[in-house]
Amino acid sequence: MALLNDKSAIITGASSGIGRAAAKVFAREGAKLVITGRRQEALDAVVAEIEGGQAIAVSGDVRDETLQIRLVETALGRFGKLDIAFNNAGGLGEMGPVAGLSLDGWRETIETNLTASFLGAKHQSAAMGEGGGSLIFTSTFVGYTAGMPGMGAYAASKAGLIGLVQVLAAELASRKIRVNALLPGGTDTPAAITNAPDATEELLAFVNGLHALKRMAQPEEIANAALFLASDLSSFVTGTAMLADGGVSISRT
Ligand code: NAP
């Protein structure tokens, strides 16, 4: 039996990396999807890769409240309900020591990683029906179990998500809506610092070595953790910050 049979889900940041992998995993498990990102062509490619499933691409910027409303309306209009939202879009934003961060860079990172998720949660939770639902937010171990130099705005934005998740979980429990944060470790996606144009083999070895498992995750491994949180397998899990981090948080070797 498929884990998300007949469920209706929104996935943000589905044009690439973890969100793209999640779109494929959720669809394979029977979900009907509304996927989003800014790049329409990349979204269309993901839709084309979802064989036999149902997925609709709606492009836009997650910081735009009208997009967030449109995503919910599309799910309700096309699939009749909304059961799951994986609020995953985000990025590192401006990097560097806090003393050198620009205010614009700080705001841009907070808007993309935190404020956009607030907007998503606001409209998604309002649209979820009597059957309850699952809201998932992609956070990170950075700013939760580890302080990484140069990631001040990113860490603050992602740690803010964990606070938002705790409040939402308490507010929405009576409506059977579970709310959780997913905290990946280093994951081999286009956004990873190891895939930056100036990344070296030494950097890759360093990042791999930070993890107890001595490697980064593949996007599908994080998508599988999202599947757990989206499905009834996690029926007693709410308000958590769930690490799927290859042991980067506990490794000292
Ligand atoms: P990715 O491959 O670069 O994917 C990022 C996704 O977010 C893309 O689909 C991108 O779509 C979308 N996005 C970014 N800004 C957006 C905006 N303003 N409006 C709409 N969509 C936007 O990176 P990823 O590694 O899969 O990242 C997914 C999430 O995991 C992020 O929240 C990231 O912070 C988090 N994370 C990643 C790692 C890692 O090591 N990779 C570790 C921990 C947490 P468009 O480019 O089409 O707009």
Lowest-confidence pick of 6-15, 110-119, 191-200: 191-200
**235 and 177 Cβ atoms separated by less than 8 Å:** no
End-to-end CA gap in the chain: 41
Question: Based on the structure, what is the number of domains in the chain?
Answer: 1
Tell me the best of 10, 11, 15, 65 to mutate to test the pocket of ligand 1, counting ligand atoms within 8 Å of each CB and taking the most.
15
Closest of 79, 80, 101, 105 to residue 91, by C-alpha: 105
Q: Which of 86, 137, 141, 154 is catalytic?
A: 154
154 flagged as catalytic: yes
Q: Which atom of ligand 1 is nearest to the CA of 193?
A: 40
- Sorted by sequence, the CB contacts under 8 Å of residue 191 that are 6+ apart come out as 16, 17, 91, 92
Q: What is the DSSP letter of 241?
A: E
Single-letter amino acid code for the residue at 25:
V
Domain presence at residue 14:
yes
pLDDT value at 53 more than 90 = no
Q: Phi and psi (nearest 5°) for 236? A: -110, 20
Residues 129-177 have pLDDT tens digits of: 888 999 999 999 999 999 999 999 999 999 999 999 999 999 999 999 9
Cα separation, 83 vs 7, whole angstroms: 6
Q: How far is the CA of 183 from the centre of ligand 1 (A)?
A: 13
Q: How far is the CA of 174 from the centre of ligand 1 (A)?
A: 31
Q: Where are the beta strands (DSSP E) in 141-203?
A: 177-184
Domain presence at residue 138:
yes
Domain presence at residue 2:
no
Dihedral of the alpha carbons of 221, 224, 229, 234, in degrees to the nearest 10: -110
Cα separation, 174 vs 78, whole angstroms: 27
Domain presence at residue 3:
no
Residues 74-124 have pLDDT tens digits of: 999 999 999 999 999 999 999 999 999 999 999 999 999 999 999 999 999
pLDDT value at 50 more than 90 = yes
pLDDT value at 15 more than 90 = yes
Mean of the per-residue pLDDT values for the chain?
97
Domain presence at residue 94:
yes
Q: Residue 90 sits in a domain of what CATH number?
A: 3.40.50.720
Q: Phi and psi (nearest 5°) for 230? A: -75, -30
**pTM, rounded to two decimals:** 0.98
pLDDT value at 241 more than 80 = yes
DSSP lists the bridge partners of residue 10 as: 34, 85
Domain presence at residue 251:
no
pLDDT of residue 201: 96
pLDDT of residue 117: 98
Domain presence at residue 250:
no
Q: Taking CB atoms and a 6 Å cutoff, what residues make up the pocket around ligand 1? A: 13-19, 37-39, 42, 61-63, 88-91, 112, 138, 140, 184, 186-187, 189-192
pLDDT of residue 103: 98
Residues 201-212 have pLDDT tens digits of: 999 999 999 999
Mean of the pLDDT values across residues 28-34? Answer: 97
Domain presence at residue 118:
yes
User: What domain range includes position 39?
Assistant: 8-244
- Sorted by sequence, the CB contacts under 8 Å of residue 174 that are 6+ apart come out as none
Q: How far is the CA of 201 from the centre of ligand 1 (A)?
A: 23
For the chain, the maximum distance between any two Cα atoms, rounded to a whole number of angstroms, is: 53
